[in-house]
């Protein structure tokens, strides 16, 4: 096999492109710019960490099916862990989002990083909602029967029925978690490729 033939391979091209965009020292950096020195930066990693705990506790709940936690003290405790990790996840994500807004973190070719973050936020809201309506208790009865009116009003209810437990559960444990994880992965990779947005250059602005 000739070198030219190897060079043309999709695999070779992809590897070279990936290595060029994201060399190991960028993917797993051991230094960071000194301006990355604020508590606000903690909320990005806190969001990611919460997502890991959300998925782990959700996997434990999934082991015994959707009704298990109602009749088992252990199951109820795992449900409590799942609930509070979700609350922490959203709290951290909202603070992270506001922080990035006030940094104008889309600057310097980072608009895709911002957009993947926003879509992850919206997908997570969907994941949270489907979780609430899949609880199989009074809350899920009330939330689903109330939410259906908003969803139906836009015609979405014809395809996304909050009163259908099976459909909501599938969205909650398969489709939306996959979306959230893939989007989060993409978001983190973009942060690693582009780096953390630098502060505004006030002297340059004053000069202009």
Residues from 174 through 193 that contact another protein (CB under 8 A): none
Dist CA 106 CA 19 (whole Å): 24
* Alpha carbon 41 to chain centroid, angstroms: 16
| Segment lying near another protein (by CB under 8 A), choices 3-11, 12-20, 99-107, 172-180 | 99-107
Nearest to another protein of 1, 206 (CB atom): 206
Size of the site for another protein (CB under 8 A): 95
* Cβ proximity of 172 and 86 under 8 Å: no
| Segment lying near another protein (by CB under 8 A), choices 8-16, 17-25, 112-120, 173-181 | 112-120
DSSP one-letter code for 175: I
Burial of 137 (0-12, 13-18, 19+ CB in 10 A): exposed
Contacting another protein within 139-178 (CB under 8 A): 139-147, 149-155, 157-159, 161, 163-167, 169
Contacting another protein within 57-96 (CB under 8 A): 57, 69-70, 76-77, 79-85, 87-88, 90, 94
Options 14, 19, 118, 182; binder of another protein; rule CB under 8 A: 118
* Cβ proximity of 139 and 145 under 8 Å: no
Closest separation between CB of residue 69 and another protein, Å? 8
Dist CA 173 CA 126 (whole Å): 11
Closest separation between CB of residue 20 and another protein, Å? 20
Q: ∠ CA(89), CA(29), CA(43), 5° rounding?
A: 20
- Residue 32 near another protein by CB under 8 A: yes
| Segment lying near another protein (by CB under 8 A), choices 6-14, 17-25, 134-142, 171-179 | 134-142
Closest separation between CB of residue 177 and another protein, Å? 17
CA-closest candidate to residue 100, choices 181, 88, 189, 92? 92
Tell me the two tokens of residue 26: 């960028």
Cα Rg of the chain (Å, integer):
21
Contacting another protein within 38-57 (CB under 8 A): 38, 40, 42, 45-46, 48-50, 52-53, 57
Dist CA 79 CA 70 (whole Å): 9
SS3 105: coil
Closest separation between CB of residue 9 and another protein, Å? 32
| Segment lying near another protein (by CB under 8 A), choices 6-14, 23-31, 176-184 | 23-31
């Amino acid at each position: 096999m000739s070198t030219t033939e190897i060079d043309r391979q999709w695999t070779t091209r992809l590897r070279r492109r990936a290595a060029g965009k994201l060399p190991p020292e960028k993917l797993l950096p051991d230094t960071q710019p000194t301006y990355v020195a604020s508590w606000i930066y903690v909320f990005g990693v806190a969001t990611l960490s919460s997502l890991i705990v959300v998925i782990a506790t959700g996997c434990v709940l999934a082991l015994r099916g959707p009704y298990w936690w109602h009749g088992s003290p252990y199951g109820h405790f795992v449900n409590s862990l799942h609930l509070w990790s979700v609350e922490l996840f959203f709290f951290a994500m909202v603070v992270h989002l506001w922080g990035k807004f006030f940094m104008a973190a889309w600057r310097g070719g980072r608009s895709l990083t911002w957009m993947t973050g926003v879509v992850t936020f919206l997908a997570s809201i969907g994941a949270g909602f489907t979780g609430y309506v899949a609880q199989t208790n009074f809350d899920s009865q009330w939330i689903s029967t109330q939410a259906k009116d908003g969803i139906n009003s836009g015609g979405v209810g014809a395809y996304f029925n909050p009163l259908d437990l099976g459909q909501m559960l599938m969205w909650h444990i398969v489709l939306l978690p996959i979306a959230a994880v893939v989007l989060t992965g993409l978001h983190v990779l973009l942060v690693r490729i582009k780096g953390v947005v630098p502060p505004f250059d006030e002297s340059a602005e004053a000069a202009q």
